[in-house]
Amino acid sequence: MGKTQHPGPQKKAKLPAPKYWVSPIPFGLGKIKPQHIRDTMKIAWDNKDNIGYATRIITKGVCDGCALGVSGLYDQTLDGPHVCTTRLNVLRLNTMPAIQPEILHADIDELKKYDSTELRKLGRIPYPMIRRKGERKFSRITWDDAMDLIAEKMKKLDPKQYAFYLTARGITNESYYVAAKVARFLGTNHIDNASRICHAPSKTALKRSIGVGASTSNYLDWIGTDVLLFWGSVASNSSPVSSKYMLEAKKKGTKIIVVNPYREPAMDQYWIPSNPESALFGTKIADDFYQVNIGGDIAFMHGIMKHWFDMEVKAYGSAINHEFVEDHVNGYEELKKKVQDQSWEDIIESSGVSKDRIIELAELLANSKNAVYAWALGLTMHSFATDNISQVANLALLRGHLGRKHAGLMPFRGHSSVQGSGEMGADPFVLPGGGWDEKNVERIEQLWGFDLPNWQGDIVGVTLENIVLPEDHERKVKLYYLSGGNFLETMPDPDFIEKALSELEIRVHQDIILNTSTLVDAKEAVIVLPAKTRYEQEGGGTSTSTERMVYFSPEITGNKNMIEEARAEWKIYLDLAKRVKPETAQLVDFVDGQAIREEIAKANPDYNGIQHLKKQGDVFQWGGAWLCEDGVCPTPDSRGTLIPVDIPDLNKKPEQFIITSRRGKQFNSMVYKEVDPLNGAGRYDILMSPVDGQKLSIAEGEGIVVYNGFGVFQGTAKFVDIAQGNLEVHFPEGNYLLPRGRYEKFAGIPDYNIIVNVEKAERYHARKDTQYLEKPIADLETEVG
């Protein structure tokens, strides 16, 4: 039976729906809300020197913002044009001129006075540069000299001593693929990508639960499903166009439920700028919020399933889809036992949600023929993230909410190119088209024509730790080749990260802009290579959206601020391969982007179709409209598996808090506003419940200190509607509280949640002055980045 194909964009409902309006007062006057029109005017002004090129990017290119997959102004979900401030905010990265030479070649201490936001605004990297040990400034270098230096170093090192990393910054599938192939050709398996610190656990969990690590459904499935359940996601902030889909879904009768510790204002009420009705009157997005504790999601889902099994005792089939389970699911009895062994006391204590409320949601889902389960970093950035997501899959499998219209599992990706990174093999555990198993290794070796290194590569966090291994250790990383990324602002324990980066012998930054990590010293040299943006890549490039749509983005000409010496990322990797192993480099050579796509289609059979994408608007969806269609999973026995998981013990004392990181007005780690327009929070505000403030005699706006054995964060109390005992701070400012070396056991994502103590600043400092501390903790005056 053939796979059902996506039907393409659907028409929007024509009639307004006043029952979902936030306020009859136009434009939400008097409310804290984004000023979309004002922001858009400012962005147009910022791009005024290159407005023609900026316009062509918006109208012809595939969005380099979130992973919704808007191509030009159109997507595959709703008809009509779509554009959002997330996309407009990153536009300047593609249109701006080069950094002024007098700033670029200033003393390194002058450059270090800039934070990452200021560095980004300076402009693009104009040509290759080097800063050797002891040198006070960057100097210009030719491409040949830069590449020879890197290649000569690699020849001297054991391949276990160098590593590659690729961020999600506008990198195309073609560049991921070539990087993955070149790394293995050079003999290293140390290659990782930005999904390691966002959605790696989604892939790992879905792979073990249903056999495939990608979204099983489409955005279209939101529109008309009975329930759209958002877990730990502020979709309207990270992917603003998705709020359009939510409004359409509501008009079709979909209930939108948000499970999150904080009643996020943007998931409660939002003004959608490109929808006239919503732009004027706002949209009430969520029908209900379940304010679960940070780390309490597994218990919360145990509660839902526990009530389902109670319902089954009274009436067989009232909660469990037995036909689906019998035909398509393994592990039912084991899961049932695990769930029934949980006590309601433990469930309520861990989740922070009352039994009545849990039962309410359990019954809503039991009575819903269809549901789409979507989640983001609130579920993935934990030390038990894979279990979190397998528990979501358990809900879907028990109800049969999988493999058909209006039902499925959706990891909600934050960046337009990150879905393709692992599918292209830029990951230490996978190769294109499969895992690191004997059969797939053999297949890829035949296709590529060379032997792959037969040792396990390391994830990014471990690679960074391996830099400080003893000199004679075989895995001591001495050269790190970074395509974008700023570990100082994405990884826990920034002080350690700075130390590690400075202990590398050679560090290569292949990027379009400088960031704070580019300025850190190295033992021998820091080499900076100017990359082209995805829109400048010769022959165009492709990216894969959350819903598995592979879009072609053409090369866009006419850049007035062209960086003459910038090169397409995949071409730089090929150049490196030719210099390190000239005698066999023909094995990794590609004449153009089309040749890469031809090979991708063979290397990853899911991507068979990418070779036909040649012009603007070309798109295909791998896997068809729904993965696991009709319940048939891509597993050896074609069945999904229910995974019993334990409620995690966070070891939190009653007087302690659990803290998590959040994004404000930013894109990944790039900050665009000091104050979040969605809730009025500043970068150093600590979001807490007013009830907790009262208990600690803390007034709103008062200075408070959040601390643990790893670090200290000084900020200001901001009272919001968040579950008691839970706090939120902005990322990356709060990363000083996070220890290094705490990774999720299956996917290797660092844990971005930690137990902390909270005190009034004056009390903390007074106590610190009078008490002898075993481990003095320096006050951390961090700069916003």
Three-point CA angle 776, 779, 781, nearest 5°: 155
| pLDDT given at position 275 | 85
| pLDDT given at position 777 | 36
* 727-756 pLDDT tens trace: 999 988 888 898 888 888 888 888 888 999
The answer to whether residues 408 and 373 touch, using CB atoms and an 8 Å cutoff, is yes
* 220-257 pLDDT tens trace: 999 999 999 999 888 887 888 888 999 999 999 999 99
The answer to whether residues 226 and 404 touch, using CB atoms and an 8 Å cutoff, is no
Amino acid at 113: K
| pLDDT given at position 327 | 98
- Please state whether the predicted TM-score (pTM) of the whole model is above 0.75: yes
The answer to whether residues 734 and 714 touch, using CB atoms and an 8 Å cutoff, is no
How far apart, in Å, are the Cα atoms of 87 and each of 142, 220, 718?
33, 21, 29
| pLDDT given at position 197 | 77
Q: Where are the beta strands (DSSP E) in 133-196?
A: 139-140, 162-166, 191-193
> Which positions ≥6 away from 770 have C-beta within 8 Å?
none
| pLDDT given at position 772 | 41
| pLDDT given at position 29 | 66
Mean pLDDT, all residues of the chain: 92
| pLDDT given at position 87 | 87
Phi, psi of 667 (to 5 degrees): -125, 115
Phi, psi of 303 (to 5 degrees): -65, -45
pLDDT along the chain (785 residues), means of 10: 86 90 75 72 91 95 88 93 86 96 97 95 98 97 98 98 91 97 98 86 94 95 97 83 92 96 90 84 93 97 98 98 98 98 98 98 98 92 93 98 98 81 94 95 98 96 97 97 94 94 98 97 98 96 94 97 98 98 98 98 97 96 97 97 96 93 70 80 94 96 95 95 96 87 85 92 78 40 30
The answer to whether residues 696 and 756 touch, using CB atoms and an 8 Å cutoff, is no
Q: Quick one: DSSP state of residue 56?
A: H
CB atoms within 10 A of CB 155: 11
How far apart, in Å, are the Cα atoms of 515 and each of 404, 493, 670?
44, 18, 10
| pLDDT given at position 770 | 58
b/e 449-467 (16+ beta carbons within 10 angstroms → b) = eeebbeeebbbbbbbbbbb
Helices (H), 162-321: 173-185, 200-210, 235-238, 242-251, 265-268, 276-281, 297-314
